[in-house]
Structure 1
């Protein structure tokens, strides 16, 4: 599910600087794989951009690890090197794309449900706060491969079914978003208390402009999980867009009480005041 940290990041950027998307990715264009419209993104291009942000000494270290992957003929050795690369990009460079990519490469070799779903959710969580279509497509494409592999190992995993549906719904990887909706609905119809599935359907309704349906889903989520800040904020925003001012104010007030960052509280107070005028 979208993490609390990702939800808070979205809140901050939406309210504090609504016209500027957070620069949490390295954006570039390539000429193959995972295209959307005329845009396409390749990991090789993302990696080149990432390496521009590290020191020559760090680049030399990364080069040695990359060569070790190529030379390694033992699966366990390759997995170990991929984890080393992932740790570097996460802890030292703090750049998401190569961290997630190498985590995913290790997971594919390990081929355990736990490692595959962990890597898949790395991509999916970032997909849910990404605004650029080409990057949405790239993130969703990576996540889909991992969810597909995880579902081969455990076809009954509802979280993976929902995650896979979200890739179709939010990642521009198919001309038929209903493919994603049906995957998620199959879980929710079986278990209406599945908060993750209800949340994704709510976000899907919001994305498609079906605010009544989105509100219905978000209300289910906050009833089951009253501390879900992401659902609370999205509920308030849907009421706001739908011009239901009283309900928008109510839920913005609840969001303001729960959000821990002063700048977000201030921005929420400003929006509440505007609605009350």
Structure 2
């Protein structure tokens, strides 16, 4: 993913970079009870994971206990999300909504992650709306849940009232000034709106809180590049690439940025 693509994605979705737009696709046509899996852009799924997927499909078909069925469906959807098969993952969230009677954290998790990893802004808005509905119901029941508030805020950013999402993020920081996700989200929104100095401050804060936060380091490097501090950005990108525990997708993007310097 190139630097220009990253900025475009942030502008369209105002979220973490879409990491899963790779050139292969998986077409899922098998019907699992009322679940119909659909085509999505994805990475190639390793055989070991494919075996786990097939086993989870079997368990979903055969399980009669609703809670267990929902857990199996969530696990299966997470596999799909890990490999970019977003539509198929979302189809299981839709099925789970039919199975369970109350707002489900598992359903919200699938929709929200589908929102984050959607291959385009229109699909992202669709899943954001579905996630927002479930998250709002959850927040109504538990108004101090900051994890739910963070997710709800980011779905609001792509709604007709984006300032409501930003206001909610600021409320989170008033309650917890070190809340990583709220700081990260506000930093990404600062990049999206071209406020690179403000973004730099947000990500520097995160790195000072946790020097091993490679995601924050990546976005700090992006912010530094935008304000012509390439030498500092280079050092951060080299740190990410030299670290064993940085996730592969972050390393891929760090390498792309470094190659462009």
Normalising by structure 1, report the TM-score: 0.63
User: 2:76, 2:255 → 1: CA distance?
Assistant: 40
Bigger mean CA offset, 253-262 vs 265-274: 265-274
Superposition deviation, residue 183 in structure 1: 0.7
1:85: Cα distance to partner?
A: 5.1
> Is the CA contact 1:232–1:251 (under 8 Å) kept in the aligned structure 2?
yes
**Superposition pairs for residues 1-277 of structure 1, below 5 Å?**
13-14=1-2, 21-22=21-22, 47-49=37-39, 95-103=85-93, 105-106=95-96, 109=100, 111=102, 116-169=104-157, 172-174=158-160, 176-258=161-243, 260=246, 268=254, 271-272=257-258, 275=261
CA distance in 1, matches of 2:259, 2:203: 24
State whether residues 206 and 238 of structure 1, in contact with CA within 8 Å, keep that contact through their aligned partners in structure 2.
Answer: yes
Asked if the contact 1:117/1:160 (under 8 Å) is kept, the reply is no
Unaligned segments of structure 2, at least 5 residues: 9-19, 28-33, 41-49
Return the offset for 1:139.
1.9
SS of residue in 2 equivalent to 1:250: helix
1:31-71 CA-partner distances (Å, limit 9, x unpaired): xxxxxxxxxxxxx9x84547xxx9xxx9xx89x95xx9xxx
Q: Structure 1 residues 134, 250: CA separation in 2 closer, same or farther (over 3 Å shift)?
A: same
Tell me the matched-pair count: 223
How far apart, CA to CA, are the structure 2 residues paired with 1:228 and 1:24?
Answer: 30
3-state SS of the aligned residue for 2:167? helix
**Distance in 2 between residues matched to 1:88 and 1:255, nearest whole Å:** 31
8 Å Cα contact 1:141/1:167 also seen in 2: yes
CA distance in 1, matches of 2:250, 2:137: 39
Structure 1 residues 70-127: Cα deviation after superposition (integer angstroms, max 9, x where no partner): xxxxxx8555555555556666997443334434653672536xxx334323332343
Aligned partner of 2:31 in structure 1 is none
Higher Rg: 1
